[in-house]
Structure 1
Amino acid sequence: MFSSKSFPSTALEQLRTRITGTVVLRGDKRYDEQRTLWLQVVEQLPSAIVNARSVQDIVEAIRTARELDLPLGVQNTGHGIAVPCNQGILLRLSEMKEIAVDPAAGTATVGPGVLSGELLAAAEPHGLAYASGQVSNVGVIGYTLGGGYGWLGRKVGAACYAVQSATVVLADGAVVVTSTDENADLFWAIRGGGGNFGVVASLTVKLVPVSEVFGGMAYYRMEDAPEVLRFYRDWSAHLPEETSTILRLMQVPPRPAFLLHLRATQTCAIGICHADLATADKLHQQIKDFKIPALDDLKVRPYSAMAELDEASGTKGAPSFSHLECLQDLSDPVLEGLVKIAKTHMPPLMIIELQQLGGALDKQRAEETSFTAPKAPFALHLVSPTRNTTLEDLAPITKEAFNSLGSVYTGEVLYNFLRANQQDRVRAAFGDEKYKCL
């Protein structure tokens, strides 16, 4: 394995002449900027960074790594990378931002550098949307191929089912197109199995005929959390598939509206994305009949605006640590335990989030993709910033918080939420049968 000083200069110069993108080495001015991920908690020190601008650039980078027997790390946008690239070639794809929306077919074809917010902006003028996650700066391809479950999750299910075709560069540098009719085994594998089977250079996805939704957040004071949690559990159990919800116990963002209405450092909030505008008023009234929010941000808005609700959408990177588990139910002891976690672990925890599952997620044909949908009704997601706390400190604190609830987890895993130190949980993300096939 080569250090930056011993990296073969001849091979590097040849690579530079064969690609339209750029090559960056340690010591170059842009090295630190380009090796840094959006998920800043991951540290990586590649020997060389290749910024690809075309499919052929990807091919050349792969062939060079093979010739030099170097590890190759692939980074679309850097939001969810699981394994850091050290002492190898880091292939960055963030400059490949091609977007082509076909309104007649209701599809979009995107490059690996396209962010969710960028695709939403391109689709919105046509009355279409992409089944995006909660954050606008997540890469479309990485999110989608890892399963993808967000604000339209209960309406349309996992985003990987929307994939129509993909152009993939294989480990030997061969470029193939995959769909239900062509290279079908590979097509099955990448939809849910992420980037483990090649570098996806473009992806065509089916869009959703949604332009506006009723959504946003209803914020309550933290002292109301026990009551809000019980209401949320009982209310969400009867919601239609058109409604996706979350509940958060969270530290209050330092914004004037929060400071004015909440006058507190913590809040309890119900998040809603309801895709049936005809019944929006009825849904809103249910929230207000329970308890008038301290700050009510529920309204009809463009679907693209839902991805801007999360504070992370406005950042170029976040030093944070997170972990997700699936819950068997929301029993009274679980709800009481969540309130206790907020009292004892927030901070350093920033967000304690319940995400409602089910709906269309339960109805998608499991055999069509490698994605395995959890049967759990809810997922519990804990997020912590690492600016003032080290990762070494946060990991045991987060584990302690999860363990405090006892044996309430199903053991199911959402692949997109796995990190490098969770290799032992990969099998659980797919189940034994699919894992063997993969």
Structure 2
Amino acid sequence: MSLDVERLAAAVRGPVLLPGSAEYERERAGFQTGFGHRPAVAVGATRAGDVRAAVRFAAERGLPVAVQSTGHGIVTALDGEGVLISTRRMKAVAVDAQARTVRAEAGVLWGEVIERTAPHGLAPVSGSAPHIGVVGYLLGGGVGLLGRRTGYASDHVRAFDIVTADGRLRRVTAGSDPELFWALRGGGGNFGAVTAVETALLPVARLYGGGLRFAADSPADVLRAYRDWTMTLPEELTSSIGLMTCPRSPALPEPLHGRYAAHVRIAFTGSAEEGERLVAPLRVLGPCVTDTVREMPYTQAGTIYQDPRVPHAYFGGNVLLRELDPDVLRTVADLAGPGAAVPCAVDVRHLGGAFARRPPDPGAVGGREAAYMLRVMTGGTAAPPTAARPVHQRVYEALKQWTVGRSPNSVYHDGAPVPGDRVRELFAAGDFERLRRVKTRHDPHNLFRFTHNIPPVDGN
């Protein structure tokens, strides 16, 4: 180790690792395997003090900083330079059942929060995958499992603990720093390294939900039927539909192996009887190969989407749509369906309801007027981003006249810096310049740029 790194190692409790060791490779690895961070120094933080030491080390030397918990949402890869702060060891969870809040450190996963809050009859505003990190999800806004009832997850945040580029640990609330608090709720990891977050809990102990899988030999017709169904729903029911060619995997039923199939996912907070009545129209879309819809405790909510848990490569993005025009659905099916030039998974999430209502103190989340989010994803190594990107882009171009923005949580790039115009699309008109002013105040040298980067006002 150089003398500088030895000093850093003496200042932190966790490991400080350089390239060339197995420990370094494990520390930098994330859920995204298509690309990843390769820093000059990796710091395995165990506490906020470790994060402060790592940020100060980087700032004193003008080195950029990347922060990673699970590595699901890597946007731009740090390659051969800078400091990676890995927060996966920061696992403290504190539940205040009376206040209906939870404080989670930066390495905590949603599944861990769910397990701690369920005994109190409470649930967090979590997403579809329990193995996703709490902090990154909330910084991006959070399109939650019950979002049509609850709105964006970031709207429920009460406080952030964050180390800004000056090395200070701050507790940021609506009262202590309104502008930074606004920016953190939707503006991503541009403003520092979040060490913990406090967010509200919901009095939800159970729900009626699950998934229906069936062959989708006519994907445009299936999409149209799903769209028509969603227009009849109360906001207590949040749903989505995914369409893809099923791999020959033991995780999927044999009748769907190699077939193009639809998976409708449902989460409803009303009674099972009412839920069954609402779901009934879906059962005529085709013979269900799997039907997991049932009443369940919230601790089983992670089974609804059956999101993959094995790390893998993936690339994709999304558009937020004011409506899902039935005439354009055939175009989507033609461009990204079973005949696409590269394999694609199409995912449509029903928004509206509480997503569309602005809370009294909204964060930087854009596109609240959207009625749907449409995602296009390509996974595996057979189709690299250079091949998938044009296919995905043709879908987005076909939807341009209905597009009102994009969601940061579901934009997965290929590790290269994201063009500035793409970052602007993530925010409402006027908010981007406001975010740049907050960035300038707290990170004028753009140390925290390995994200959907918002440059400071005097930056490029």
2: CA distance, partners of 1:319 / 1:257: 18
- Report deviation, 1:300: 1.2
Instruction: Return the letter of the residue paired with 1:110.
Output: A
* TM-score, L = length of structure 2: 0.87
Spell out, residue by residue over 1:171-224, the C-alpha distance to the aligned partner (whole angstroms, 9 max, x if none).
Answer: 111111111222222212211112211211111110111121111111221225
- Report deviation, 1:14: 0.9
Of the structure 1 ranges 364-373 and 235-244, higher mean CA displacement relative to structure 2 is found in 364-373
- Residues 264/391 of structure 1: CA separation in 2 closer, same or farther (3 Å cut): closer
Map 1:30-109 → 2, pairs under 5 A: 30-86=23-79, 87-109=81-103
Do the aligned partners of 1:218 and 1:297 also contact (CA within 8 Å) in 2?
A: yes
Of the structure 1 ranges 112-121 and 360-369, higher mean CA displacement relative to structure 2 is found in 360-369
1: CA distance, partners of 2:316 / 2:238: 21
2: CA distance, partners of 1:357 / 1:287: 18
Q: Which residue of 2 aligns with 1:368?
A: 362
2: CA distance, partners of 1:398 / 1:251: 16
Unpaired segments ≥5 residues, structure 2: 436-460
Q: Which residue of 2 aligns with 1:4?
A: none
2: CA distance, partners of 1:391 / 1:329: 28
Map 1:256-405 → 2, pairs under 5 A: 258-262=252-256, 265-277=259-271, 279-288=274-283, 292-315=287-310, 317-340=311-334, 341-345=336-340, 348-349=343-344, 351-365=345-359, 368-403=362-397, 405=398
- Residues 362/407 of structure 1: CA separation in 2 closer, same or farther (3 Å cut): closer
Spell out, residue by residue over 1:286-310, the C-alpha distance to the aligned partner (whole angstroms, 9 max, x if none).
Answer: 3336655343221112333332344
Q: Which residue of 1 aligns with 2:425?
A: 428
Q: Which residue of 2 aligns with 1:243?
A: 237
User: Greater share of helix residues, 1 or 2?
Assistant: 1
- Report deviation, 1:83: 2.1
- Residues 85/142 of structure 1: CA separation in 2 closer, same or farther (3 Å cut): same
- Report deviation, 1:314: 2.1
Higher normalized contact order (CA 8 Å, seq sep 6+, divided by chain length): 2
- SS of residue matched to 1:432: coil
Instruction: Return the letter of the residue paired with 1:174.
Output: R
- Residues 108/330 of structure 1: CA separation in 2 closer, same or farther (3 Å cut): same
Q: Which residue of 2 aligns with 1:170?
A: 164
- Out of 9, 16, 22, the position equivalent to 2:2 is 9
Do the aligned partners of 1:308 and 1:314 also contact (CA within 8 Å) in 2?
A: no
Do the aligned partners of 1:224 and 1:268 also contact (CA within 8 Å) in 2?
A: no
- SS of residue matched to 1:267: strand
Unpaired segments ≥5 residues, structure 1: 1-7
- Report deviation, 1:27: 0.9
1: CA distance, partners of 2:395 / 2:187: 29
Do the aligned partners of 1:325 and 1:409 also contact (CA within 8 Å) in 2?
A: no
Spell out, residue by residue over 1:151-172, the C-alpha distance to the aligned partner (whole angstroms, 9 max, x if none).
Answer: 1110100000111112111111
For the aligned residues, what is the CA RMSD? 2.2
1: CA distance, partners of 2:367 / 2:218: 33
Spell out, residue by residue over 1:395-421, the C-alpha distance to the aligned partner (whole angstroms, 9 max, x if none).
Answer: 223223444x35444141212234442
- Out of 102, 116, 125, the position equivalent to 1:131 is 125
* TM-score, L = length of structure 1: 0.91
1: CA distance, partners of 2:304 / 2:270: 20
- Residues 353/117 of structure 1: CA separation in 2 closer, same or farther (3 Å cut): same
Instruction: Return the letter of the residue paired with 1:186.
Output: L
Do the aligned partners of 2:128 and 2:307 also contact (CA within 8 Å) in 1?
A: no
Do the aligned partners of 1:312 and 1:318 also contact (CA within 8 Å) in 2?
A: no
1: CA distance, partners of 2:29 / 2:431: 33
Instruction: Return the letter of the residue paired with 1:400.
Output: R
- SS of residue matched to 2:136: helix
Spell out, residue by residue over 1:264-284, the C-alpha distance to the aligned partner (whole angstroms, 9 max, x if none).
Answer: 522122211111125223223
Do the aligned partners of 1:262 and 1:295 also contact (CA within 8 Å) in 2?
A: no
1: CA distance, partners of 2:400 / 2:182: 34
- SS of residue matched to 1:223: coil
2: CA distance, partners of 1:138 / 1:392: 27
Of the structure 1 ranges 275-284 and 258-267, higher mean CA displacement relative to structure 2 is found in 258-267
Do the aligned partners of 2:28 and 2:86 also contact (CA within 8 Å) in 1?
A: no
- SS of residue matched to 1:166: strand
